[in-house]
Each structure stands twice: as structure tokens, then as C-alpha cells.
Amino acid sequence: MPIQYYIYLSLALFSIGIVGVLVRRNAIIVFMCIELMLNAVNLLLVAFSKMHYNMAHLTNAETTVGTEGQLFVFFIMVVAAAEVSVGLAIIVMMFRNIHSVDVNFLNRLKN
Amino acid sequence: MNKLVYLVPLFPLIGFLINGLGRKSLSKSLIGIIGSTTILASFVVSVFLFMDVKAHGASVVTAFNFINIDTFKVAFAFQVDQLSSLFLLIITGIGFLIHVYSTAYMHEEKAEHFGRYFAYLNLFVFSMLLLVLGANYVIMFIGWEGVGLCSYLLIGFWFKNNNYNYAAKKAFVMNRIGDLGFLLAVFWLIAKLGTVNYADVFAAANTLSKFDVTAITLLLFVGAMGKSAQIPLYTWLPDAMAGPTPVSALIHAATMVTAGIYMIARSNVLFSMSEVTMNLVAIIGLATALLSATIAIKQNDIKKVLAYSTVSQLGYMFLGLGVGAYTGAVFHVMTHAFFKALLFLGAGSVIHAMHHEQDIRNMGGLKKKLPITHATFLLACIAIAGIPPFSGFFSKDEILAAAYAHNPIYWGLGVAGAAMTAFYMFRLYATTFLGNFRGTHDQEHHLHESPKAMTIPLIILSILSVVGGLIGIPEILGGHHELHHYLSPILISEKAHHIEHSTEYMLMAISVAIAALAVIFAIVRFSKKPELKDATGIAKAMENKWYVDELYDAAIVRPLEAVAVFFKNIIEKSGIDAFVNGVGKFVNYSSRQLRLVQSGQVGNYILIMVLSIVIFILLWFYDAGIIRLVDKFF
Amino acid sequence: MNAIIFSALLGVVMMFSGILTTNKQAIKNIALVCLTLLLVANLANHYEWYSIKIDTKQMFSFGKYGYFFNTIAITATLLYVFVSGDDIVKVGSYGAEYFALIFFVLCGVTILSSYNNLLMLFLGIEIMTIPLYILTGSDKKNLHSNEAALKYFLMGAFSTGIMLMGIALLYGSSGSFGIESIVNNTSITLMKVPILEVIGLMFVFVSMLFKVSAAPFHFWTPDVYDGAPSVFTSFMATIVKSAGFIALITLFANKSEELGKLWNILLVIVIIATLLVGNITAVFQQSVKRMLAYSSIAQAGFMLFALYSRNEIARDGILLYTTAYSLATIGTFAILIKMEDHSLDGYNGLAKSQPLLAATQTIFLFSLAGIPLTAGFFAKYFMLASVIRTGGNAAIYLVIIGVLFAAVSLYYYFKVIQAMYFKEGNAATTKITPSFKFALLLLAFLIILFGVMPDALLGLFYF
């Protein structure tokens, strides 16, 4: 499959994520949309990793080019997990105080 | 050994800090001791430095890099050489004596003001030392401003009297006019040579164009005019007598006012390259010397006479510089410091005894009551009148001889000025010390000789005034002119005198004879019946200082005020004020609007971010038009 | 190297010290000792003494510049804990954990000072920001703190997403994460643009601008700085922001020619927008804390000058700028924390009730405004000089704009001074200890020292 398909798919996912962040008001869903953006990136990285490997493989059968792209994906997953734990904690803390997870509900800090 | 140089300005600085911070808690005697011993310590170090320079020659000691911008570097460095070490001795030596004198003179002040006084005085000495020690024009300028500040603070020391405050302000403003010239000169040097270090500037001076050299030296001279009270910026010095008398002695006679001479002597390499400036320096110096001498003849305030005499003597020094007799000018700075400090301190002693009476018409006959003051004052008068073998004779003679070599007319006018000097000094002496006492009964009752702390400095200074000239005996009188040899590495030696020895003897004899005649005439004329009536005609004009202050007032101050009023009422109110307020209102208004963008909603924030990213990307890809647009403007 | 390892280890140590003791004073002292250790470890690196030598496979490029920045950041943190340590432990009941988080942030900072690979850039940024989300929300019952944490977290995570997309696109076009291979790609010229590379670079650039709060990506800054507990705002606004700049400059350090003219135009737009938003909005603020938040945006605008010029002066200057800015901001916030009322009126008459606080505050504000004889002056001077050095008319216009906005900044900084000295009122403060006063004096002394002799700091760099 040409690399373009992967790029289009992942950009589509990424855009869906952005739009979701923009239009949704529930903090958890906003957060899930951000996760969607990260996963779009993961997909893209893996696709590129494979592409670079294939290109290098044509000239050198023993090449390891492209592995770092997949390694990067693991790091993103780990960091995203850390972010999730902190983010959910923050959302829970907010819910305890105001019994709502609406991102626009808390609006004291402005101007 | 050279590292000791740090100590010289450090001691007065410590004194300033202790006295300034502790002025409310320390006792008066402790303040006096701290103030004086710090200067004494500096003096001792200065003596060591002087010996060292004499033995091993000059050096530059760098403390740290003060300004370091790209290739332009200004080091906080001290120049230890023949010229600066000589000035160090003068400043710290006379400074110490005057500090000691002040402990007695200022004793009536409250402890707090006493502390303030000594703090200022120490700060002054610190600044003056910085001025003299700096190895580049920037450090010199720091000291230059520092002494100006201290002078301002000390003239207005009794700040409860508004006239004194005006005098302080006048001194400060006039000095600032001169400082502007100095500053411009320094900038000019930086622009042309990229350095302000003396050594580098003088080494590269040849690369400057004729115009640059003339402009720089003229601007430097403007600075010197302000600080050293030359026409047209001299009128602040007589008014500066509002300060305590020891201050007048130290700042407005012995040290600060000679800063201009020091600066020109230091820059002699530059000045020698510009004929125009040199002539102007000589002419201004001579004109100042004569003008202020005529004014001094008719003054009745004991300190005013001395003030105009100082202006006049400074004029002589500039004459010396202008005709290329740098050594002579520095020599005269030194001898003048001795006898003028002595005169001021003597005057202070008289004022002290007379309970702050300064009008000589109310004095007279003080000879018997104040024997030590009288004797020392007389010696100082002889010295300043130029009677051999007192110190003033040698230095003044050297300047006059150089002036003759340059242009006999300078010499003629110089001798006339010298005669006037002798005349007004002995008028002052005779009116004050001879004849009968003319003050109130009460004052007569309280007349007393001053305490030891005041008389001992007088005696030391009088000894110096008498013998101080001996280090510069010219060769035709069988001397070696030690000072000349000592300073020769720094100062370009004057153009060879094309005077026959016989001519020189004759010139000397003429000037001494005229001065002696003036002395005798003054004593005969004023000892019995001093002039008490108000003057008329020319004499009145002289008494009123040729109306120079009034002239300045009418020619500069009033028109400026008129313009200022016009600007204030018309242009400022309707134009600039409206504009500035408009800008302020606009900023406030846009501030209020702009903060509304900060809506507090995360969604909006992210939307703006996303839109910005889109715009950025569009900008990048539809670039050609934008680049062309931007190119047009930048 | 040492700094990265030690900051992570010492963070763990701090965490466990919370189990051993609940004495707040003891925890603060342990933190001070640990920070000193960290500083020593970093200095040891500077003198080429390594605890462990690991082959980092070009993930890092350790150099003097990075070490020196670490020294500055750690020293600033040390001073920060020294001044405000008592207030850190007062925020909640988890004193030791706050310090542990600060150490983890420092770990991120030290990674950012010497990364050589986009993976490390990403990790550094994340290690630095995730603890900050927690610190922002550490005042758990306070709705402002909640709101700030949520906003910070959502926007921070969003910008992480943008950055990752940028990195992925860059990887796609160049096949490597090393920063030389990416931004040195000479194929980027004005006419022939590889689209992946440009958009990727743009995304990374934008997310970094977000971290240093440059307009128009600054929106989180005022709200988060305002809502977070003041002690942590102080830390975020200084050390963290400085690290962001160092990372940004490392990324774009010597890429000027290749990036083309348009890149500079974008940067100019960002700089002007940042200066405008920061300075103008600060004018109307009534709360000093919020005013400082906006002023920190304005200061970021000045620091961006270094990114525009990308020359030697800029590299030196940004170090001086971050130092001057951090010292002054730490001091200002330390005083702010002690105030009972954080509004401008709360400062009325402080000069009477606490003359020392008012005096040092004045020095800090002078430095922020860039008045001569304070470190802030030379900091701004270096920035402007570096721009002038690039030459061209655009540089001149940029300098003029910079000076104009510096003048505007005087207005709102002086409003505080005016309140302290010329307005009647009795500014109430919480208890001021002598050691706090001493710490303020130390900060003020350093500011004056670097203001009189900027070489004292930069000279250290070349020792």
C-alpha cells in the first residue's frame, strides 16, 4: 500500500481529534480526543518506520533503519499513560469540587 | 607595591560609608577622627606611591573590566604615574589638613550634620582621587561627576537657607553644561578611535584628522571651563562661597576646580596637536584672569575676594596650558593649592573669630587679636602676590616667561593682572588686619585666636606656601627645576624659550617690581582709612561684578523662560499633552479590549491556536506576495 | 549527564524522605541539601568528572553551554527554595512530594539543555510539564487552582499532540530523529518546499512557542499563572520558561540561512504579537499576580529576540537574560506570596510598613523593566545588540519596537513602585522572618552585581 494512504488516514484521525477538542465540552471526551491525536501520530510513525526500512532494505539487507520510529511509539504510549493518570486525577479532583466535568463550567480566571 | 593604589580611594570611601551610615549614632569626636584618619591613611599610601613612581616609573593597575561590549572595552583601571601621584599628594595632603581644621571649625554643628559633613567631604576626596587616578576618560568622568555632586551637596550644606540652595543649584547647572562638553568629547573619541584609555588614545592620536582633534579638544575645554570656572562659566564659583569655609578651601580653591587643568594637562598630547584650541585656552585664561582680578578689587566680602582671586589664578593656569607651559600650569596648581587653601582657612579663622561676620569693612586691627592667623595670612598674601622667594613667584614667573615667549602682549596683560592680584590681596590684608577695629563692641569682646586644630594646619600650610616653590627653581636662578624633570615623561616639554637670559632677568625684575609697588600702595592706601563708602561709576560696576550675572540673566535666562512659558502654555497644553494623553488613553483602551480576548474558555484558546497554525502555514505556502510586500517596507 | 541522573535520583530521595519525616522545616532542609548536591554534581560535570559514562548514541550532546545553563537553572532553583521554601511546604500536606516534583521538573530541564534528538526533546518537555500539572493543581480545594490545572493540562496535552505530529512528519521526510539531520536539511528553500518537512517543523515550532508562552499561543499563561499557587507560579515562570527557551534555541540554533526569509517573517510576527499582548494587557491589570503573568509573556517576547538573531551575542545574552529574569521574578513572587492582598492596592504603603521588602521589590522591578545598574538592563541590551548585529532594516524596526514596548512596561512596573512608596495605606504582610529578608537581599545583591558587571556571570561561562 502506498505511504500516502497512511498519511491521509492518520491526518484524518488527527483532524478528528482536533475538531473534537474544539467542539466537545466534557473534559473526559476532550481528553479522549487528545488521545486520538496521539494515536494518529503513533500510526503515522509506524507507517514511516516501515517505509524507511523498506527503502533501506533495498540496498542493505541487514539494515536497522526505521526501528527508532517504532521505539518512539513506545515512548509516546508510556508518556501518554503518565499523562492519563495525571489528567484523570485532575478531572476527578475537579469533579469532587464542582460535581461537573464541563470544561467551560470553571471560568473564573479570565481577562 | 602598585597594588597599593586600590587603598588610596578605598580609605575615603570607607570613611564615607562609616560616617554616612553612622552619623546618627557616632559621637562627634569619633566622626572627626574617622574622617581625618582615612585621609591620612590615603596620604601615607600616596607618599609610598610617589616614591615608587619616582624609583620605578609609571604603571597602570587594572581592577576589573568595567564595560565590555564587543570590541569596546573600558577597564576599571588606575593610572599611577608622575602626574597623578603628584595630584594624589596634593589632594590627600591638603585634604587631611582641611579635615583636621574642619573638626574644630564645624564643631558647633549637631552630631548628625557633623557626620553628614564629613561623609560628604570623604566622598568628595574619594571622587577626586578617582578622577585623578582613572586610566581612561570614563573613570575620570565618574570622578568628575562625583566631585560635582559633592560640591553641590556641600555648597548647599546649610540647606535651610534658600539662597545657599540657589547657589548650589547654580554651581551644579553650570558644571553640567561643561560636563556635556566633556561627555561629547568622550563619545567623539569612542566613535573615532574606539577606545578611551589614555595610553591608547595618545598612541592613536596621530590618526585623527585636524578637525576631529580640534573638536575633541574644544569640547574637553568646555568641560574644563565649567569645572574650573572660566569665562563664560565662572559665575558659579563666587556664589559657591555659600558653603562652609573649609569646603571652599578644599573644593573651590585647592582641588576640584583644578580638575580642568589636570584634565588638559593629562590630555596634553591631544591639545598640543590643535593650534586653535591652544590659542583659545590661552585667551580665555588670560581674559578670565584679568576680568576676575578687576572684580576682586572692589569686593568687600572676605570670601568673595578670595573666590575671584581663585578664578583669576585659574585663569593664569589656563594661560600656562594655552602657551604650552604644562609643567608651569601644574606647578601653579600645586603652589596655588598651598597658599589659596591657607588663605581660605585663614579667612575661616577670621570668620570663626568674628562670629560669622564676612564683611571686611566691619573688621580691621585683627593683627593683635589673632597673631597666628595674621602671620600665616600675611605669608600667603606675599606668596600669591609673587614676591620672591615665596612659592607663588616661581610658578607664576614660569607661566609669564612662557607667555612672553609666545606673545609679549600676553606677558604684559599677565603682569597687569599680577599687579592687580598683589593690590587686591593686600587691600584685603590691610583692611582686615591693620588699622582699628570697626566691628560691634560685642564682637570685639569675643575676639579670640582659633583652637589648635585650626592653627596647626595654618602653620603647616604657611610653611608649604613659603618653601613650596623651591622644587621648581628655574635654571637661570641656579636651580634644577626638579618638578620639570619629574613630570617630563608625561608632559610634552614646552617649546624652547627663545628668550635671552638677560631678557628673562629683566622680565622677572619688572614683574616683581610692579607687584611690590602694588603691595606697598595697597598697604599705604588701606591700612589707615579703608574705603567704607559705597562705590560709584566704574568702581560700582566692578563691585557688582561687571553685571555679568545680570547679563546672563537678561541674555539667557529670561529669553529661555519666555520660550519655556510659550512652550508650556501653547505647545505643551494643546499639542504634546494632548498627544501624550492620547497615547496613554489609547494604550489603556487597547488594554481593556485586548484582555477580553482572554475569555477564560479553553475551547476558544485552542481555536485561536489552531487558526494561528493554519494562518502560519498559509503564510508559508502563499509566500511570494507577502515577501514582496515585506521587502517593500523593510 | 550527572545532572540528569542525579535530579531523577534525588527526586526519588525526596519522595521517600516524605515517609521518614513530616517535619516541614526538615523537608525544606533536605531539599536544600539535595539541590546543593545536584549543583555540585553538575559542576563536577563541568570539570569533566563523570559519575557514570554512558554512550548516549547521539541522543544527547553534552557541552559547556548546556552545563552552564544547568548551573544557572539549579542555582536559581536553590535560591528559589531558599527564599520561598517555607511557602512551598505550606501549600498542602505533601511537602516532600512537591519538592520531589520540582526535582523531576529539573530532570526535564537538564534534558532540554543538552538534547540532540527529537525523542529527547519530547521526553524532556513531558518530564518537565507533567509534574507541573500536578503542582498547578496542588491546592486541591481551591477552585482557581483546579481550573488552572485543568486548563493547563488540556492545552498542554493538546500542544504535545501538535509537537508529536510535527516530529512524526519530520521523521517521515528525513528518516531520523537527530536534530542535525532534520533542520540542516538544505533542501528547504523558498521555492522548493518539501511539504512534510515544512509542516512538521512548523508544528514543532508552534508547540515550543506554546511552552514559552509566545503569542498567539500564550493563552494558557495568564490563567495558569494566576490560578496556580503563587510559589509554583514563580517556579514555572522562571526556570521552566528559561528551559523552554534553551530548547527552542538549540533546535533552531544555526539554521538561519536554510530556513529562508519567510521563517524570519513568521518570527517577527510572533515577537511583535507577544510584546504587544504581554505589555498592553498587563497595563490594565488590577491584580499584581496577573500583571506579572502578562509581564512574563512580555519578557518572553524579548527572549525571542535571541531566536531571531541566532548569533554569539544571542547565545550569551539569553543566558544573562534568563538569569536576570529568573532572579527578579523569584524575588517578586516571594514578596507577592507574603502579601495578604494580591491586588495593586494591597501594596499601598508597603515602604512604610516593610521598607526592606519595598526596597528590594523596587530593585527587582527595575531589573524587570531594564533600568541600568540592574542585571535586566544588560539582559535587554544584549538582546537588542544581538538583533542589531544581524543587520538589515528589519532589525532596526524590531529594536525600535522592542524599546517602545520596554517603555510601556515601565508604566505597569512603576505602578507597583508608586503604590509602595507614594500611596497611603497599610500593606499587610504575613510574618517576615530575618532569613527571608536575607534571601531577598541576596537576590537584590546578585541583580546589582550582574547589572554592574555582567561579565561576572558570562565570565564564569568561559572559565
DSSP notation for A40-108: HHHHHHHHHHHHHHHHHHTT-TT--TTHHHHHHHHHHHHHHHHHHHHHHHHHHHHHHHHS--BTTT---
Q: Which residues from chain A sit within 8 angstroms of residue B596, using beta carbons?
A: 111
Residue B606's closest chain A neighbor by CA? A22
| pLDDT exceeds 60 at position C38 | yes
Give the closest of B599, B600, B607 to A22, CB-based.
B607
Query: Where residue C423 falls among pLDDT bands split at 50, 70, 90?
Result: confident
With cell 486520538, the residue in question is A36
Task: Please report the ipTM that was assigned to this predicted complex.
Answer: 0.95
Residue A64's Cβ-count burial label (10 Å; 0-12, 13-18, 19+) is exposed
Q: B454 vs chain C: nearest CA distance in angstroms?
A: 42
Contact B189/B201 with Cβ under 8 angstroms? Answer: yes
DSSP lists the bridge partners of residue C115 as C60
Residues 18-77 in A contacting B (C-alpha not used; CB under 8 Å): 18, 21-23, 25, 30
What confidence score (pLDDT) does residue C106 get? 95
Whole-angstrom CA distances from B453 to B96, B268, B459 are 12, 39, 11
B348: left (phi over 0), alpha (psi -120 to 50) or beta: alpha
Where along chain A do its domains lie?
Answer: 3-98
Shortest Cα distance, chain A CAs vs residue C147, angstroms = 6
3-state secondary structure of B357: coil
For chain B, the average pLDDT equals 83
Query: Chain C: nearest CA to B66, how far in angstroms?
Result: 7
User: Residue C154's closest chain B neighbor by CA?
Assistant: B602
C265 in B contact zone (CB under 8 Å)? yes
Q: What was the pLDDT predicted at B633? A: 57
Do B504 and B510 touch, CB atoms closer than 8 A? Answer: no
Phi, psi of A71 (to 5 degrees): -60, -40
| Residue C130 forms contact with B (CB below 8 Å) | no
Distance from CA of B586 to the nearest CA of C (A): 10
Instruction: Inform me whether the C-beta atom of residue B68 falls under 8 Å from chain C C-beta atoms.
Output: yes
Which cell numbers in the block locate residue B58?
Answer: 609609571
Please tell me which of the candidates B595, B604, B616 has its beta carbon nearest to residue C266: B616
Interface membership of A109 toward B (CB under 8 Å)? yes
- Asked if residue A19 has pLDDT above 80, the reply is yes
Choose the closest CB to A41 out of C126, C140, C165: C165
> Is the model's pLDDT at B398 over the cut of 60?
yes
A-contacting residues of C 138-157, CB under 8 Å?
A: 140-141, 143-144, 146-151, 153-154, 157
Percent of chain B with pLDDT over 90: 2
How many Cβ atoms from other residues are within 10 Å of residue C403's Cβ? 12
- Most C-contacting residue of A24, A41, A78 (CB-CB within 10 A), to test interface: A41
Closest CA to A77 of A111, A49, A109, A46: A46
Q: Does domain A3-98 have CATH number 1.10.287.3510?
A: yes
Of C158, C190, C266, nearest to B606 by CB-CB distance is C158
CA distance A24 to chain B (A): 8
Which set of grid coordinates corresponds to residue B387? 614676591
Please list every residue in chain C whose beta carbon sits closer than 8 Å to the beta carbon of residue B609: 155, 158-159, 206, 210, 216-217, 219
B56 exposure class (CB count in 10 Å sphere: 0-12, 13-18, 19+): exposed
Chain B closest-CA separation from residue A64 CA (Å): 34
Distance from C9 to chain B by nearest Cα, in Å? 36
Sequence-separated (6 or more) residues with CB below 8 Å from residue B230? B224, B260, B284, B285, B288, B311, B314, B315, B318
Output C129 or B435, whichever has higher pLDDT: C129
Residue C188 has pLDDT above 60, yes or no: no
- Domains of chain C, by residue range, sit at 254-463
| B602 Cβ under 8 Å from any chain A Cβ | yes
Q: Which residues of B touch C453 (CB under 8 A)?
A: 64-66
Q: Is the pLDDT of residue B411 over 70?
A: yes
Of B595, B602, B607, the CB nearest to A111: B595
Is C144 touching B (CB cutoff 8 A)? no
3-state helix, strand, coil in chain C (%, to 5): 80, 0, 20
In 3D space, the residue among B310, B295, B290, B224 whose CA is nearest the CA of residue B261 turns out to be B224
What are B80's strand-pairing partners?
A: B59
Of the candidates C150, C202, C408, the beta carbon closest to that of B587 is on C408
Q: From residue A91, how far is each of B439, B582, C65 by CA, in Å?
A: 95, 47, 40
For B605, nearest residue in chain A (alpha carbons): A22
Give Cβ neighbours of residue B586 (< 8 Å, ≥ 6 apart): none
A63-99: pLDDT as tens digits = 888 888 999 999 999 999 999 999 999 999 999 999 9
Question: Per-residue pLDDT tens for B155-200?
Answer: 888 878 888 888 888 888 888 888 888 888 888 888 888 888 888 8
Give the rounded percent of residues in chain C with a pLDDT score beyond 70.
Answer: 94
C-alpha cell at B84: 597623578
The grid cell for B617 is 502555514
Bridge partners (DSSP) of residue C339 are C429
A104: chain B residues, CB-CB within 8 Å: 601-603
* pLDDT higher than 70, residue B331: yes
Specify which residues B301 forms β-bridges with: B359
| Facing residue for A108 by CB, picked from C147, C169, C177 | C147
Give contacts of A38 with chain C, Cβ < 8 Å. 160-161, 164
Q: Best interface-test mutation with C: which of B605, B607, B615, B619 has the largest number of C CBs within 10 A? A: B605
Chain C contacts in chain A segment 44-83 (CB below 8 A): 44-45, 48, 51-52, 55, 65-66, 68-69, 71-72, 75-76, 79, 82-83
* Predicted confidence (pLDDT) at residue C298 exceeds the cutoff of 90: yes
Q: Which residues of C touch B620 (CB under 8 A)?
A: 193, 198, 202, 262, 266
Closest CB to C280 among B69, B587, B606: B587
DSSP readout, C393-452? HHHHHHHHHHHHHHHHHHHHHHHHHHHHHHS-----B----HHHHHHHHHHHHHHHHHHH
Q: What's the pLDDT at C189?
A: 45
User: C50 CB contacts (<8 Å, ≥6 apart)?
Assistant: C1, C2, C44
- The alpha carbon of residue B468 is apart from the nearest alpha carbon of chain C, in Å, by 43
* Sequence-distant (≥ 6) Cβ neighbours of residue C63 within 8 angstroms: C114
C288 pLDDT band (50/70/90 cuts)?
very high
Q: Residues B344-364: pLDDT tens digits?
A: 888 888 888 887 788 878 777
Q: Which residues of C touch A65 (CB under 8 A)?
A: 175
pLDDT tens for residues B489-521? 777 765 555 667 788 788 888 888 888 888 888
Contact A65 C175 (CB under 8 A): yes
Contact check, Cβ <8 Å, A110/B600: yes
Of A22, A108, A110, the CB nearest to B603: A22
Distance, in Å, from the CA atom of B606 to the CA atom of B601, rounded to the nearest integer, reads: 9
Per residue in B7-17, pLDDT tens?
888 888 888 88
In percent, the amount of chain B with pLDDT more than 70 equals 92
Asked if A17 and C161 come within 8 Å (Cβ–Cβ), the reply is yes
Task: Write the single-letter amino acid at C295.
Answer: S
| pLDDT tens digits, one per residue of B50-77 | 888 888 888 888 877 777 776 777 888 8
- The pLDDT-based confidence of C190 (bands split at 50, 70, 90) is very low
Is residue C454 reached through a cis peptide bond, with omega within 30 degrees of 0 on the bond before it? no
Q: What residues in B contact C217, CB-CB < 8 Å?
A: 609, 612
Any chain C CB within 8 A of the CB of A16? Answer: no
**Which of these ranges, B70-79, B261-270, C33-42, C58-67, has the smallest mean pLDDT?**
B70-79
From CA B158, how far away is CA B153, in angstroms rounded? 9
- How many angstroms separate the CA of residue B601 from the nearest CA in chain A? 6
**How is residue A47 written as a grid cell?**
507507517
Give yes or no for a cis peptide into C434 (omega within 30° of 0).
Answer: no
Q: What is the pLDDT of residue C436?
A: 92
